[in-house]
Amino acid sequence: MLARTPTQGRETQMAIIGWQDAFSVGIEEIDAQHRKLIDIINNLHEAMRDKKAKGILGDIVNEMADYATLHFATEEKYLVAFGYPEIVVHESEHNAFTKKVADLRERLAQGTLVLSLEVITFLRDWLTNHILSSDKKYAPFLNSKGLQ
Ligand SMILES: [Fe+2]
């Protein structure tokens, strides 16, 4: 039998989410933050797939929550500074996600929730939909203010 190294096979397994050019809002700082969120979701997926310890999964969920908070603050800072007309709707989407992730974090910590593909799919789909619909909507507005 051939010995398998831990990294073997990984290359053949698809990341659950990948960067797409369509995600770009034309603002370097925000694109970089979106890429980082994508990386964290992929790390979480990989850690779950590799059956990592609960503590490690919890750490990645915490990283996700903290980074999302920082990222939303960055976007909102620009939306407020330039007077984006749809700021209230945009912020309420951020707040709903923040609440949902805080709930996940708590339930994972209490042991009343087990991290599943369903949870990771929710994170992926939320991020994808939010970028493609809401973030792309502010992109031309912020670009027109000189942000790139
Ligand atoms: Fe956003």
SS (H, E, C) the chain: CCCCCCCCCCCCCCCCCCCCHHHCCCCHHHHHHHHHHHHHHHHHHHHHHCCCCHHHHHHHHHHHHHHHHHHHHHHHHHHHHCCCCCHHHHHHHHHHHHHHHHHHHHHHHHCCCCCCHHHHHHHHHHHHHHHHHHHHHHHHHHHHCCCC
Q: How far is the CA of 40 from the centre of ligand 1 (A)?
A: 17
Give the residue-averaged pLDDT of 48-64.
Answer: 94
107 pLDDT exceeds 80?
yes
Q: How far is the CA of 134 from the centre of ligand 1 (A)?
A: 6
Sorting pLDDT into bands at 50, 70 and 90, what band is 32?
Answer: very high
Give the residue-averaged pLDDT of 66-84.
Answer: 98
Lowest mean pLDDT among 4-13, 96-105, 126-135: 4-13
Q: How far is the CA of 51 from the centre of ligand 1 (A)?
A: 31
Q: How far is the CA of 74 from the centre of ligand 1 (A)?
A: 9
Average pLDDT, the chain: 92
90 pLDDT exceeds 50?
yes
CATH topology of domain 26-144: Four Helix Bundle (Hemerythrin (Met), subunit A) (1.20.120)
Please give the pLDDT value at position 14.
79
Please give the pLDDT value at position 6.
53
Give the residue-averaged pLDDT of 94-120.
Answer: 94
Tokens of 70: 């920082």
Q: At what angle do helices 87-110 and 117-129 cross, to 10 degrees?
A: 170
120 pLDDT exceeds 50?
yes
Give the residue-averaged pLDDT of 77-83.
Answer: 98
12 pLDDT exceeds 60?
no
Q: How far is the CA of 56 from the centre of ligand 1 (A)?
A: 27
Distant-in-sequence, close-in-space partners of 137: CB < 8 Å, separation ≥ 6: 86
1 pLDDT exceeds 50?
no
42 pLDDT exceeds 90?
yes
Q: How far is the CA of 6 from the centre of ligand 1 (A)?
A: 36
